Each structure stands twice: as C-alpha cells, then as structure tokens.
Structure 1
Amino acid sequence: MSTAQPTVLLVDDEADIVDVYALAFSEDYDVLKAHDGEEALEKVSDADVVLLDRRMPGLSGREVLAAIRERGFDVRVAMVTAVDPDFDIAEMPFDAYLTKPVGEAELRETVDGLLTLTDYDEQVRERFAIAEKMAALETEKAGAELAESEEYQRLAERAAELDAETSETVGEMDPETFEQALTGITELEDE
C-alpha cells in the first residue's frame, strides 16, 4: 500500500546531521538520505523537497543545485548551510536558504512551506524564491551594502516586476473570479 506522504531528500556530508534532520521528518514524510552530491542526484527524482548542504566534498551543493535545475527536476530546494549568505546567492536557483544551526521547527516549517509552494505557478514560486534571497541578504548585510549591490538591486527590481504583473492580473479580474482565486488559495493553506 503506497502512502500519500511527501518525500524529503536530506543531503549533507555529515551523517550525524542527516540523521538528526531525519528524526524531524520521519513521522510525516518519506525520508531519503544522501551523503554526497552524486548520491543526491541519484535520488532527487524521487523527492518533493530537497534540503541541500552547500559545502560538501566532491560535488558542492551549488553544483548539485545547478544539475537539478539543468536536468529539469520539478523539486523545491532549500539550501541548509553554515555559509552565511553573500550576494552570490542572487543567481542561485534555490527556493529557500537556511543558515545552520537550524532547529526542527524551522526545518519543518520550511519544508511545509515549500510543499505548499508546489501548488502555485512558476511566477509565484519565483517571487517566493526572490523574497527568500532578499531576506537572507537583509539579515546578513548592512543597508549600505545592499544599496550598493547590483545583485541585490536586480532582485529588488525583479520582485517589483513580478508584483506589478500580479497586481495587473488581479486588476483585470472581475470581482467574482478574484474572490474564487482567493478562496482557492485559502483552502490550500488550510489543508
């Protein structure tokens, strides 16, 4: 008998970390474990969400992430790393960025959010990923650094473009269609 449980792939070169993370998910999720990038790429097709360490020997998390996107896997990816975010993350195609140490509640909240995000279209997922990148940078960088960063400015501009497109789409809807769309979103969040 198959389960309807989502599958989370935990990728970290430190086995103890993978085992601790697995405890957070073992009751409500199917859990896959990988201890290097190659193993992660072998298992990613079976996952709904990937928690991916950024620094690993062999294939780095960044290289694994690039391979996941190049191969077209429809999976949400959260980088879970001890590397403080820098402006290089602006171009990385992840969905969320968590800086270690990460507690069980934050891990579960992130995975639950990413699973919900799967139900939305690409534009919504892109806006969410941009918001995650901007929040990570805002936590780590001073306002002056953000203002001077071309990468951060590109993120902010793209966020504004997506917000404007959404606003335009909402403005074109008749009130009944808009209400139905909101009801659908609310029902998804309540599930």
Structure 2
Amino acid sequence: MSEAGGARILIVDDDVDVADTYASQLEETYDVETVYSGPAALDALSPSVDIVLLDRRMPKLSGSEVLEAIRERGLETRVAMVTGEEADFDIIEMPFDDYVQKPVTEGALLGTVSHLVRCLTYDEQLREYYALTAKRAALIQSKTLEELADSERFSELEADIETAEAALSDLVADFDPTDFDRAFRDIDRPDPPTAD
C-alpha cells in the first residue's frame, strides 16, 4: 500500500456522474483514479492499485470480466463490486471482497473502503511477521543457544517480532466478522499461472 496519500483506489464506473461522486467523497483521504469503462480499467490496473471499486454492468467489458482479469494477473488488489444489481447465486464463485448495492451513501462507501484498507494493512503486517519469524527459525537451526544469546542483532530481531505481534493483535482487535472474511479471502485461491 502506498505510504503517501494512503491507499490507492481505482474507481471504475461507466456512469461518469456516479464515478466522479465516489471520487470526490474519497479523494481527501485516498489517492484516487477514476476510469469510465472496463478497457480503461485494464489499462489503469497495476500492482500499485490497492482497491478497485468496480461497477458490475458496463458495455464492452463488464465488471465481472475486469474482476476476472485482475485475478488472472495475480494482483493482490482488493475489489468491491459496486452495482445496481441485486445479488444472485452467481456471485458465489466471483472472487471479490465486497458487494455493495447502489445507491451507495457516502458513509457506506467510506465504510467499505475503510474495511478493505484494514484488510490490506493486515496482509502487509502478517507478511512482515512471517518474514521475521522465518529468519528467527533459520537462525535457531544454525546457531547455538550461546551464539543466539550473545547476538545483539538476534535480540533486535526478537524485539521486532514482539512489535509485529502486538501490531497484528491491535489490528485484529478492531476487526468485525466481515473484516476476517475479507482478510483471508486468498487462502483457498490458487496461485496465478506462471509462464514456462
């Protein structure tokens, strides 16, 4: 997630007025880009996009097709389908993080984005925590207890792990059940195909 300006959000809606309204509600807090079609969304997508607010029904390339492309590219972007369509059973297989039905109030929009940002933050902190604990495990396997006890760098690593654990614990304390669902949405998703 980009540091300056918070999360980077891509708004995709073929209704220019709707897209611009969402942008005006979010741009004070987030780095916002707005596009008005599915093809334009594909052009704007990059690993730097943290969240996509995606209209489901658009001409030329639907939101469902854009979502499929996001997942095929292996982007870790969080996606909220923001649509006038009522949910039907076909959404069960769709790999989005949230489904918000129009019309969307400013409060609902900000709440959705806030939930997705918390999930992104958790992902980043969890990766950092696992990287630190992997280093500790490798050192424990290759060094003696005496070497570990005498190492100032190992003591710093232990302190970093404690700090990371506390940060994760604080973040999870603010989670509601939907945040957990969003945070762990990638667990069952297979890794994207790689070129041979």
CA distance in 2, matches of 1:11, 1:63: 12
Give the aligned partner of residue 128 of structure 1.
Answer: none
- C-alpha change, 1:28 and 1:87, in structure 2 (3 Å) is same
Q: Please say if residues 116 and 189 of structure 1, whose CA atoms lie closer than 8 Å, have aligned partners that are also in contact.
A: no
Give the aligned partner of residue 93 of structure 1.
Answer: 95
1:184 counterpart = 2:179? no
Give the aligned partner of residue 24 of structure 1.
Answer: 25
SS at match of 1:23: helix
Superposition deviation, residue 105 in structure 1: 0.8
Residues 1-191 of structure 1: matches in 2 within 5 Å?
Answer: 3-45=4-46, 46-121=48-123, 181=165, 184-187=168-171
- CA deviation string 1:132-184 (max 9, x = no partner): xxxxxxxxxxxxxxxxxxxxxxxxxxxxxxxxxxxxxxxxxxxxx9xx85762
Q: Return 5+ residue gaps in structure 1 as ranges.
A: 125-176
Q: Which moved more, 1:104-113 or 1:38-47?
A: 38-47
Give the aligned partner of residue 169 of structure 1.
Answer: none
Q: Which moved more, 1:105-114 or 1:180-189?
A: 180-189
Give the aligned partner of residue 156 of structure 2.
Answer: none
Q: Please say if residues 25 and 31 of structure 1, whose CA atoms lie closer than 8 Å, have aligned partners that are also in contact.
A: yes
SS at match of 2:45: helix
Superposition deviation, residue 4 in structure 1: 4.0
* 2:34 partner amino acid: K
TM-score (normalizing by structure 1): 0.64
Name whichever structure is richer in helix by fraction: 1
- Specify the structure having the higher radius of gyration (Cα): 2
Q: For the aligned residues, what is the CA RMSD? A: 2.5
- C-alpha change, 1:63 and 1:187, in structure 2 (3 Å) is closer
Deviation above 4 Å: which 4+ runs of structure 1?
180-183, 187-190
Q: Return 5+ residue gaps in structure 2 as ranges.
A: 127-160, 175-196
